[in-house]
């Protein structure tokens, strides 16, 4: 394996046109695009590519299932901001990528997937392991290519990178026939440079719109900033913070926006939406101005459109024109790169006094704002919230956390406070169970110096648990926390609330996760009480390699508050009775 190779020296051969095979052209183009790591799985139709790998300074991480490769490339991209690359063979290899591609599409993650394809001579004949992957992935990619000639590989791949990272980022797939990999062509990296990126023709930030937006902001009595994933993608953390601080506007975050604004900041309200804190959603419903920054008014965030923030004027700053007025009708749309728009807006925003509204919000919060486990009676019984809180406290909030999908994902969002962008890696749009483990592997490969944690439920973890072998083979220091409640917890919660507690097919028997980890050469511990958490987390952190913690938590705990799908944002279900991890009873 060629790791840490000096890419500059190895780029030298890119400057002069050379005759190479299609497979070599692919790798050389990837090197030219700055790729140093790829995630993949070989197979018949991609073999020429794998055969040529040893000549190039690229580290290949062998996955155990192609879905893992796509999620790893995705996690790699989320952690680093670079384009992630996944490679698979034709047929089942390619179809196994699809979930991961759709996941990246829904969360706008820059990713390039390379698939092998049967020879162009037999395309369309139902050849062995032939599948129309460009057809299959058409609705879940930003764009895709079928390449049948070696001379087209470099330009297709270079275009793929440009498309993946430009505008609103997203996944791009390049399907390369085996004969195109085998045949030779003249490789000229520079000549394969794509046309300059054409910004979406409907981007529009009108001067008068900016002026109007500024005026709305200046005059607002109860403004709220809604910050989403776009803040991180556009690297707009600083201008966003300037806007919030200068105009004294509180900031509510989407799930994918967590980390875009420091959790400890006094203006940070917290996460909005279905499992957002009560006061955040109340603030949105009471607001007279919403400034939406790089978010798309997802249905998990708005409750219902008709009842959403009816008192508020809405300013939408967004890079994708197709998102404007899609779910929520807005008053002013500033369609462009968030950083650029904020920089245009900021000079028109004078310092502003916001204390009245902020005080009112503090009053709404009441004691509930101190949703701190320290204030809660500790019976010794283990709740998932304990685990999240302790992980946050012990890691100082500095870890990169990859979460799966379900209850633990929401508890993580509620109790692990993210100070920095790219510190939470989670599947928001598609809600893909099995995402956490491979995504964490991708994050660790991208950022080897960072502490990386997987937080997954017992259900989701089993969807991609074979990637434990990948961790072992690649000697990756990834810490794994399984929140084990013996149920598909979030589905069970919906059954409890909306299906008369008919727990159909949600109780789940799992393997002994510690033994499973040990079978992969990864040590582990099972944690059953609150008192054991700290020592266990420290054991995992101080272990030289990967470590698995199996947290046996309360089985029938639910995530509160919760806005039932189709209800208004203020119609939330609150935690009933005297459960030990309540929001306070007087929080009304």
Q: Could you tell me if 276 and 270 are in contact, meaning their C-beta atoms sit under 8 angstroms apart?
A: yes
Binder of another protein out of 26, 98, 163, 293 (CB under 8 A)? 163
Binder of another protein out of 44, 81, 321, 521 (CB under 8 A)? 321
C-alpha span between 167 and 163 (Å, rounded): 8
C-alpha span between 381 and 535 (Å, rounded): 16
- Residue (317 or 401) nearer to another protein, CB: 317
- Residue (139 or 566) nearer to another protein, CB: 139
Show the tokens assigned to 158.
């270079």
- Residue (135 or 448) nearer to another protein, CB: 135
Identify whether 159 is a catalytic site residue.
no
Residue 279 beta carbon to another protein: minimum distance, rounded to whole angstroms: 32
- Residue (123 or 369) nearer to another protein, CB: 123
Identify whether 416 is a catalytic site residue.
no
Show the tokens assigned to 258.
């967590």
Residue 192 beta carbon to another protein: minimum distance, rounded to whole angstroms: 17
C-alpha span between 397 and 399 (Å, rounded): 6
Taking the CA atoms of 491, 493, 497 and 502 in sequence, report the sign of the dihedral they define: positive
Q: Which stretch binds another protein (CB under 8 A): 80-88, 150-158, 266-274, 318-326?
A: 318-326
- The active-site residue out of 105, 237, 490, 562 is 490
Identify whether 297 is a catalytic site residue.
no
- Residue (125 or 529) nearer to another protein, CB: 125
C-alpha span between 437 and 405 (Å, rounded): 11
Q: How many residues bind another protein (CB under 8 A)?
A: 18
Residue 321 beta carbon to another protein: minimum distance, rounded to whole angstroms: 4
Question: Would you call the peptide bond into 330 cis, given omega within 30 degrees of 0 as the criterion?
Answer: no
Residues with Cβ within 8 Å of 371's Cβ and at least 6 positions away in sequence, in order, are: 277, 414, 415, 583
C-alpha span between 71 and 576 (Å, rounded): 37
C-alpha span between 402 and 265 (Å, rounded): 23
What mask, x for binding another protein by CB under 8 A, covers residues 79 to 118? ----------------------------------------
Binder of another protein out of 149, 200, 477, 541 (CB under 8 A)? 200
- Residue (130 or 474) nearer to another protein, CB: 130
Q: Could you tell me if 66 and 88 are in contact, meaning their C-beta atoms sit under 8 angstroms apart?
A: yes
Binder of another protein out of 124, 201, 351, 396 (CB under 8 A)? 201
Identify whether 128 is a catalytic site residue.
yes
- Residue (103 or 134) nearer to another protein, CB: 134
- The active-site residue out of 55, 82, 129, 477 is 129
Q: Residue 245 — φ and ψ, nearest 5°?
A: -70, -45
- Residue (202 or 531) nearer to another protein, CB: 202
Q: Interface residues for another protein in 134-153 (CB under 8 A)?
A: 134-135, 138-139, 142-143, 146
Q: Which stretch binds another protein (CB under 8 A): 322-330, 430-438, 462-470, 580-588?
A: 322-330
Burial bucket for residue 389 (CB in 10 Å: 0-12, 13-18, 19+)? buried
C-alpha span between 117 and 175 (Å, rounded): 6
Q: Could you tell me if 111 and 77 are in contact, meaning their C-beta atoms sit under 8 angstroms apart?
A: yes
Residue 306 beta carbon to another protein: minimum distance, rounded to whole angstroms: 14
Q: Could you tell me if 484 and 461 are in contact, meaning their C-beta atoms sit under 8 angstroms apart?
A: no
Question: Would you call the peptide bond into 79 cis, given omega within 30 degrees of 0 as the criterion?
Answer: no
Residue 323 beta carbon to another protein: minimum distance, rounded to whole angstroms: 8
Strands 268-271 and 251-253: parallel
Binder of another protein out of 209, 277, 286, 320 (CB under 8 A)? 320
Q: Interface residues for another protein in 471-510 (CB under 8 A)?
A: none
Strands 18-21 and 184-187: antiparallel
Helix (H) or strand (E) holding 270: strand 268-271
Residue 326 beta carbon to another protein: minimum distance, rounded to whole angstroms: 6
Residue 332 β-bridge partners: 315
Q: Could you tell me if 478 and 444 are in contact, meaning their C-beta atoms sit under 8 angstroms apart?
A: yes
- Residue (198 or 578) nearer to another protein, CB: 198
Binder of another protein out of 324, 360, 394, 552 (CB under 8 A)? 324
Q: Which stretch binds another protein (CB under 8 A): 41-49, 321-329, 415-423, 468-476?
A: 321-329
Pseudo-torsion of CA 167, 170, 176, 181, nearest 10°?
80
C-alpha span between 209 and 345 (Å, rounded): 10
Asked whether position 233 contacts another protein by CB under 8 A, the answer is no
Identify whether 178 is a catalytic site residue.
yes
Please list the active-site residues.
66, 128-129, 178, 490
Please report, as ranges, the residues that interact with another protein according to CB under 8 A.
134-135, 138-139, 142-143, 146, 163, 200-202, 320-322, 324-326, 329
């Amino acid at each position: 394996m060629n790791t840490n190779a000096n890419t500059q020296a190895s780029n030298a051969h890119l400057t002069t046109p050379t005759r190479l095979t299609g497979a070599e052209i692919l790798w050389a183009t990837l090197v030219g695009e700055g790729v140093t790591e790829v995630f993949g799985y070989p197979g018949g139709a991609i073999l020429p590519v794998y055969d040529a790998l040893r000549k190039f300074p690229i580290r290949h991480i062998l996955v155990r299932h192609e879905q893992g490769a796509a999620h790893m490339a995705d996690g790699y991209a989320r952690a680093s901001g670079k384009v992630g690359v996944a490679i698979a063979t034709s047929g089942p290899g390619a179809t196994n990528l699809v979930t991961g591609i759709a996941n990246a599409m829904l969360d706008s993650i820059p990713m390039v997937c390379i698939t092998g394809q049967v020879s162009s001579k037999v395309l369309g004949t139902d050849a062995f392991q032939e599948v129309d992957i460009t057809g299959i992935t058409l609705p879940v990619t930003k764009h895709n290519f079928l390449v049948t000639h070696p001379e087209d590989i470099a330009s297709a791949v270079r275009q793929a990178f440009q498309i993946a990272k430009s505008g609103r980022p997203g996944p791009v797939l390049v399907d390369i026939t085996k004969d195109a990999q085998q045949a030779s062509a003249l490789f000229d990296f520079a000549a394969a440079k794509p046309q300059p990126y054409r910004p979406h023709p409907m981007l529009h930030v009108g001067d008068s719109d900016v002026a109007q937006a500024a005026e709305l902001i200046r005059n607002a009595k109860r403004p709220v900033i809604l910050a989403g994933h776009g803040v991180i993608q556009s690297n707009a953390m600083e201008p966003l913070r300037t806007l919030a601080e200068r105009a004294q506007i509180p900031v509510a975050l989407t799930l994918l926006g967590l980390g875009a604004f420091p959790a400890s900041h006094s203006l940070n309200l917290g996460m909005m939406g279905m499992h957002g804190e009560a006061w955040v959603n109340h603030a949105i419903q009471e607001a007279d101005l919403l400034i939406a920054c790089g978010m798309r008014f997802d249905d998990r965030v708005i409750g219902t459109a008709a009842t959403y923030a009816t008192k508020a004027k809405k300013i939408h700053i967004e890079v994708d024109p197709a998102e404007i007025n899609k779910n929520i009708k807005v008053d002013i749309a500033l369609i462009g790169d968030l950083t650029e728009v904020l920089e245009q807006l900021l000079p028109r925003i004078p310092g502003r006094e916001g204390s009245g509204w902020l005080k009112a919000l503090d009053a709404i919060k009441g004691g509930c704002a101190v949703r701190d486990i320290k204030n809660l009676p500790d019976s010794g019984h283990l709740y998932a919230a304990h685990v999240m809180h302790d992980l946050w406290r012990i890691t100082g909030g500095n870890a990169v956390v990859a979460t799966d999908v379900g209850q633990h994902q929401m508890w993580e969002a509620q109790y692990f406070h993210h100070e920095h962008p790219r510190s939470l890696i989670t599947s928001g749009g598609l809600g893909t169970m099995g995402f956490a483990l491979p995504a964490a592997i991708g994050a660790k490969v991208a950022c080897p110096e960072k502490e990386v944690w997987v937080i997954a439920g017992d259900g989701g973890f089993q969807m991609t648990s074979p990637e434990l072998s990948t961790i072992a083979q690649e000697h990756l220091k990834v810490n794994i926390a399984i929140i084990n409640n013996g149920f598909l917890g979030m589905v069970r919660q919906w059954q409890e609330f909306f299906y008369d507690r008919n727990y159909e097919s949600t109780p789940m028997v799992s393997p002994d996760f510690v033994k499973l980890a040990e079978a992969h050469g990864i040590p582990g511990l099972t944690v059953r009480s609150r008192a054991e958490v700290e020592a266990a987390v420290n054991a995992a952190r101080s272990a030289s390699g990967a470590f698995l913690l199996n947290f046996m938590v309360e089985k029938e705990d639910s995530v509160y508050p919760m806005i039932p799908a189709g209800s208004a944002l203020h119609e939330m279900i609150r935690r009933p009775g005297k459960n030990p991890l309540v929001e306070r009873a007087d929080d009304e």
